[in-house]
């Protein structure tokens, strides 16, 4: 637990002085978004608290308070924010304490991977219709060769998928999905690679875990009724992603009151459901779901708030590789020409402490990560 836990109550000063009194504590939600991130050495020097077990620390945050349609924001030192919370009452203070504890908690290995360095999840789409590389690796032999090349280039794990969930896509039966992915999963599991399976169907989850997959990446956030009990039974790590609606219709006029906060609240509910079913925090990663039921403005708001999602206490995955967001911002088509934008977004996510990047272009991302690690050492030399 960080040293800033229960400061002596005092009058809130500076940017928090303008926060009007809240009508009681009912329905009030508080959030902390770390800002002004510092080298991790600032923690050992006592000037800041660590961020999610990574390479950064922070002493200032954006306090966001929400009650119904009312949302207020202010930037302040953590000491001032915590003092403000205790002046508001026990419930608000405890909520802030919980947020701060989740933000500063070290992260355990995920899927057997130490998160002390950012990890690269390589995409292997065994599909005829994925938005970027549909059909390129639809044959199992081609998918295996592609995965081998990605591992050779430095990928930390492979994310194998047999159903496209691009906007407007049609669903695939679990039987067809299994036929596509199982040969690939078995191959890489047998050679000792860390294999993730990108699926939203409990039946496919069971079959691929039995075939040696190490974890599940579910774009639907474990909404299949059998998914959550299954990952608990199998003690399988899982990536819980936010998606509004279904792939076929998710981009039809998506609406949020506040995209970053609405996604946080949804993910928090799913994390709590996991915990209640026996899936511990160290086996959960969260993904805010860039491009899944979101406009360009929604996606940008979420990415600007990447550090906010550490407040869920889990590993954090960001997947924006080659997505339409990049094409719309840069007028860059087709998707395979979106490498520079993918790297820019990925590195900015790392600058906010993301633990995993899901990417198509492994060699280039590995190189970019190497330079980023040189600029942001785990310890100051």
Which residues are the active-site residues? Answer: 323, 358
How far, in Å, CA of 113 to CA of 156, rounded? 8
Listed in sequence order, the residues at least 6 apart from 271 whose beta carbon sits closer than 8 Å to its beta carbon are 240, 281, 284, 286, 312, 313, 314
Q: Token pair 């819980």 is at which residue?
A: 240
> Does residue 359 contact residue 335 with C-beta atoms inside 8 Å?
no
Q: What are the counts of helices (DSSP H) followed by strands (DSSP E) for the chain?
A: 12, 14
How far, in Å, CA of 320 to CA of 52, rounded? 21
In 3D, which of 318, 319, 314, 242 has the Cα closest to residue 285? 314
How far, in Å, CA of 38 to CA of 369, rounded? 18
> Does residue 63 contact residue 81 with C-beta atoms inside 8 Å?
yes
Residue 120: strand pairing partners: 357
- Beta strands across the sheet bearing 49-50: 38-39, 56-58, 49-50
Residue 49: strand pairing partners: 58
> Does residue 183 contact residue 203 with C-beta atoms inside 8 Å?
no
> Does residue 237 contact residue 215 with C-beta atoms inside 8 Å?
yes
In 3D, which of 97, 116, 187 has the Cα closest to residue 145? 187
Listed in sequence order, the residues at least 6 apart from 83 whose beta carbon sits closer than 8 Å to its beta carbon are 7, 8, 9, 10, 12
Q: Token pair 């802030």 is at which residue?
A: 96
Angle in degrees, 0-180, between the axes of helices 296-304 and 259-277, rounded to the nearest 10? 70
DSSP type of residue 170: P
108 SS3 class: coil
Tokens of 299: 């996606």
């Amino acid at each position: 637990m960080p040293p800033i836990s229960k400061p002596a109550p005092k009058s809130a000063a500076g940017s928090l002085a303008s926060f009007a009194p809240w009508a009681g504590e009912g329905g009030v939600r508080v959030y902390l978004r770390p800002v002004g991130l510092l080298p991790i050495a600032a923690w050992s020097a006592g000037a800041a608290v660590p961020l999610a077990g990574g390479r950064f620390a922070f002493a200032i945050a954006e306090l966001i308070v929400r009650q119904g349609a009312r949302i207020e924001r202010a930037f302040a030192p953590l000491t001032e924010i915590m003092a403000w919370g205790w002046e508001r009452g026990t419930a608000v203070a405890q909520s802030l304490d919980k947020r701060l504890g989740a933000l500063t908690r070290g992260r355990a290995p995920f899927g057997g991977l130490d998160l002390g360095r950012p990890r690269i999840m390589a995409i292997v789409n065994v599909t005829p219709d994925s938005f970027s590389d549909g059909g390129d690796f639809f044959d199992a032999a081609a998918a295996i060769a592609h995965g081998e090349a990605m591992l050779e280039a430095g990928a930390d794990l492979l994310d194998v998928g047999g159903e496209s969930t691009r906007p407007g896509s049609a669903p695939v039966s679990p039987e067809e999905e299994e036929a596509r992915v199982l040969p690939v999963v078995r191959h890489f599991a047998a050679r000792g690679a860390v294999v993730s399976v990108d699926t939203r169907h409990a039946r496919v989850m069971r079959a691929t875990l039995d075939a040696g997959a190490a974890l599940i990446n579910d774009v639907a956030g474990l909404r299949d009724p059998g998914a959550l009990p299954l990952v608990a039974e199998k003690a399988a790590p899982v990536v819980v992603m936010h998606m509004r609606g279904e792939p076929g219709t998710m981009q039809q006029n998506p609406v949020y009151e506040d995209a970053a906060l609405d996604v946080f609240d949804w993910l928090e509910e799913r994390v709590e459901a996991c915990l209640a079913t026996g899936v511990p925090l160290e086996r959960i990663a969260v993904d805010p779901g860039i491009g899944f039921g979101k406009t360009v403005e929604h996606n940008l708001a979420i990415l600007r708030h990447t550090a906010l999602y550490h407040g869920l206490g889990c590993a954090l995955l960001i997947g924006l590789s080659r997505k339409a967001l990049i094409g719309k911002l840069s007028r860059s088509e087709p998707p395979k020409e979106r490498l520079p934008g993918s790297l820019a977004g990925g590195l900015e996510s790392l600058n906010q402490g993301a633990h995993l990047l899901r990417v198509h272009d492994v060699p280039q991302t590995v190189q970019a990560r190497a330079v980023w690690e040189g600029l942001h050492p785990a310890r100051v030399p």
